[in-house]
Amino acid sequence: MWGRVREVLGGLVGRSRAGERTATVPRTRPHNLFEAAAAYVTACAEDDQDRMEEASGWVSPEALSFGVNELACRAVVALARERDESPAAVARSLLGLPAA
């Protein structure tokens, strides 16, 4: 009987200690493709090669490409609304191309 009591109490103490360890050590969650794209584009804008390499390792190259493309689309649309211009005009302006 006492063996069973020790077993149950030992399990409770073990779970409590495990909970303490997980509470004090923060878990790192994986980066998603949009976080990777934002970090990558920001690093490119700031010409920070180390951060570019770090962010490009967070997701697959295909996912990073998709994320960067999505970020570019959203940025052009936001700027177009802000400037009251077409997305095409904003994109050409950002790239230094003549107006179409």
Average pLDDT taken over every residue of the chain: 84
Q: Which of 68, 59, 66 is nearest to 41 (CA)?
A: 68
What's this model's pTM, rounded to 2 decimal places?
0.67
Are 82 and 88 within 8 A, CB to CB?
A: no
Grade residue 47 by pLDDT with cuts at 50, 70 and 90.
very high
21: which 2 tokens?
Answer: 């360890």
Grade residue 31 by pLDDT with cuts at 50, 70 and 90.
confident
70: CB partners within 8 A, 6+ apart:
34, 37
